[in-house]
Amino acid sequence: MTARVIAVVGAGLAGLRTAEAVRRAGWTERIVVVGDEPRMPYNRPPLSKKILLDGTGSHDQVALRLRPSEHETEWRLGNRVVRSDLDARTLWLADGSSLVYDGLVAASGVTARRLPEAVGGVRRVLRTVDDAVALTTALTAGTRVVVIGAGFIGCEVASAAVARGCEVSVVALDAAPMTVPLGPMVGAELGRRHAGAGVRFHLGQGVTSVGEDLVVLTDGTRLGADLVVEAIGSRPNTQWLADNGLDLADGVVCDARLRMGGTPAAVAVGDVARFPNAHFDDVPRRVEHWQIAADTALHAARTLVADLDAGEPPAAFGTVPAFWSDQGVVSIRSFGMPGLADTSAVLEGDLTGEAAIGYSRDGALVGVVLLGLAKQAGAHLRRLTAELETARAGSRT
Ligand SMILES: Cc1cc2nc3c(=O)[nH]c(=O)nc-3n(C[C@H](O)[C@H](O)[C@H](O)COP(=O)(O)OP(=O)(O)OC[C@H]3O[C@@H](n4cnc5c(N)ncnc54)[C@H](O)[C@@H]3O)c2cc1C
């Protein structure tokens, strides 16, 4: 009898963790992972931290360790899935080949979002290890760096560039850095700290054009620039899933067990998945966190193997999202979904030093952000988890 196939599209963290987890869930047949990068899976968080700070780096330094069972997985790297037919359970690859599967995992992540081409100039992004290596060699002392975007990645790049002796400007439409995920109060404080370290902010501004050594802002300000880094968010890699009747408005919408559009034996994981989280509500959202890639992988693998082997699928997916960001002037940890909150207040410490900030929606705690206070992280996570579970139990009665 021919062995059945689980096809994984995307050889990143979520793809690797799902391949591992389907084995642990009892799958002994074939697993084929197709990845468009020509490399085995690697860790992205050190790209904007260690590699940019060190001035050097390589894939070997960030490669994810393979468990022995992963050597049985078939890796088709440097090849892209260009099209899929979920009814016919078939994928078509850029090299002209096709792959018929029994179970499918969408683990294709995101790509850096870009300003329109008409803006012009050379604008770099930071998503892959090659991006990081190219960027770090350009961060020499005195280099005038303009970072477009003041989210987590923009601020990590700015912080590393300042540490490397560059002159750094950050341009962003928002009134403060990291406002969308962390809110205006914490954003303003983080802006103050980065400015104290030497970052020049141009907030409430867009970019109209980029020239050879110049960035022009919407208010007419002209910034001298030797290096321009664009960090304005991401675009989910869902093109290959088009024409299957799925909701691909922002990632691929999943049901409570991470099945794409409720399709049996077809799941999505990591940055590309838009899923409801039972700890919060039934609204599907994408969450670009390292830990979410790992958690969705474990859950989706159990759904997939249950669907393929007529087993009992797991309960609805629920997790407390967790994220960290090291930015020189501050080490941030985020638990839950602070972006959902309508109010925030300092729970512990002092906002200008080390602090825990609580984020609430309709009076219920939905997130906690720590500036420093690493030793208290466990206690704050436990408190948030308990409050979310109590609210969840209450909503069931
Ligand atoms: C610079 C940087 C710093 C970060 N720092 C942090 C941090 O400090 N803390 C934190 O929690 N998270 C951080 N993250 C986010 C975290 O790395 C991601 O959440 C995680 O990598 C998601 O994994 P993934 O496997 O879903 O996606 P990815 O890692 O993007 O992997 C998806 C893979 O699929 C490939 N692919 C796409 N389309 C196709 C196709 N059609 N066919 C084949 N292959 C395809 C992609 O090229 C990619 O290799 C950071 C991310 C970046 C970029």
> Which of 77, 111, 159, 290 to probe ligand 1 with, by most ligand atoms within 8 A of CB?
290
Among the atoms of ligand 1, which is closest to the Cα of residue 93?
A: 42
Residues 81-88 have a mean pLDDT of 98
Among the atoms of ligand 1, which is closest to the Cα of residue 269?
A: 26
> Which of 44, 299, 331 to probe ligand 1 with, by most ligand atoms within 8 A of CB?
44
Please report the DSSP string for 52-101 in residue order.
HHHS---HHHHBPPPPGGGGGSEEEES--EEEEETTTTEEEETTS-EEE-
Residues with CB under 6 A from ligand 1: 9-15, 34-37, 44-45, 47-48, 80-81, 107-110, 126-127, 153, 237, 240, 270-271, 288-291, 293, 323-325
Q: Which residue spans of the chain are classified as CATH 3.30.390.30?
A: 330-396
Q: Which residue spans of the chain are classified as CATH 3.50.50.60?
A: 5-111+235-308, 114-230
| CATH homologous superfamily, domain 114-230 | FAD/NAD(P)-binding domain (3.50.50.60)
CATH number assigned to the domain with residue range 330-396, chosen from the 4 options 3.30.390.30, 3.30.499.10, 3.40.309.10, 3.20.20.140: 3.30.390.30
pLDDT of residue 71: 67
Q: How confident is the model at residue 378 (pLDDT cuts 50, 70, 90)?
A: very high
Structure tokens at 274: 């838009």
What is the whole-number distance in angstroms between the Cα of residue 356 and the centre of ligand 1? 28
Residue with tokens 């790509």: 111
Q: Compute the mean pLDDT over every residue in the chain, rounded to the nearest whole number.
A: 96
At 140-190, the pLDDT tens digits run 999 999 999 999 999 999 999 999 999 999 999 999 999 999 999 999 999
Among the atoms of ligand 1, which is closest to the Cα of residue 16?
A: 25
Q: How confident is the model at residue 343 (pLDDT cuts 50, 70, 90)?
A: very high
At 90-123, the pLDDT tens digits run 999 999 999 999 999 999 999 999 999 999 999 9
pLDDT of residue 214: 97
What is the whole-number distance in angstroms between the Cα of residue 319 and the centre of ligand 1? 19
Residues 302-311 have a mean pLDDT of 97
What is the whole-number distance in angstroms between the Cα of residue 150 and the centre of ligand 1? 19
Nearest Cα residue to atom 16 of ligand 1: 290
Measure the CA–CA gap between 101 and 257, rounded to whole angstroms.
20
Residues 325-349 have a mean pLDDT of 96
pLDDT of residue 301: 98
Residues 260-277 have a mean pLDDT of 98
Percentage above 70 pLDDT, the chain = 98
Q: What single letter denotes the amino acid at residue 83?
A: R
Fold (topology level) of 5-111+235-308: FAD/NAD(P)-binding domain (3.50.50)
